[in-house]
Amino acid sequence: MSRSLKIIQTVMKVLRVIVKIGFVCCIVGGVLSLASGVFALLANAGVSTFFDITVDSKTIEVIILEETGMNKVVLAANCLFGSILCVGGAINCKLHAIYLDKEINDGQPFTFDGADLLMKTAIRSIIVSIVSGIIAAIAFAIVAFGNGDATADFDWSISLFDPIALLLISVIFKYGAEIKANNNNNNF
């Protein structure tokens, strides 16, 4: 195995660990965000929750309102929005982990199957990001506007740079697989 290929494989193994950590963080973040949103809705309905806890003579509800300008309904909508985006992030992490596992098992990135899988991963990542963003925006609108807060605002943006970069890399990997196949054919 060449020195460059060893470096590539080491990077892929590190990325696999990072993606698995990202998956766990997305799941934990999604669950915590969803729980916070549910607590905010319960508090808005008059149920006693952690919003009633007093810190330095202010309730958590007052602190949140002062720091963010969000009432309980808008906070709940933002938490629901965040939890849906976390699910999208977890799906993307899983897609990337599948590719990385294949590449590590193949021992190199320059295979036709690997390049095709990377391209599919990139396309699916774009779709998941857009769809989860749209679902999250709809959920935000239903919770916030459905509870009478017509002034609710949220900030949402997605970056498609990473999946587009993966698309380009998949083409480079496919080209590498073609060169490798041509070299193998010329050696016979």
Query: For residue 155, what pLDDT is reported?
Result: 67
The full length of the chain comes to 188
Whole-angstrom CA distances from 90 to 7, 36, 107 are 27, 19, 25
Query: For residue 151, what pLDDT is reported?
Result: 63
Q: Strand 58-59 and strand 54-55: pairing?
A: antiparallel
**Using CA atoms in the order 170, 174, 180, 186, what is the torsion angle rounded to 10 degrees?**
-170
Query: For residue 44, what pLDDT is reported?
Result: 80
Query: For residue 147, what pLDDT is reported?
Result: 66
pLDDT tens digits for range 144-177: 777 666 666 666 677 788 889 999 999 999 999 9
Query: For residue 90, what pLDDT is reported?
Result: 96
Query: For residue 106, what pLDDT is reported?
Result: 94
Residues in the chain, pLDDT under 70: 147-156, 187-188
Q: What is d(CA 162, CA 116) in angstroms, rounded to the nearest whole number?
A: 17
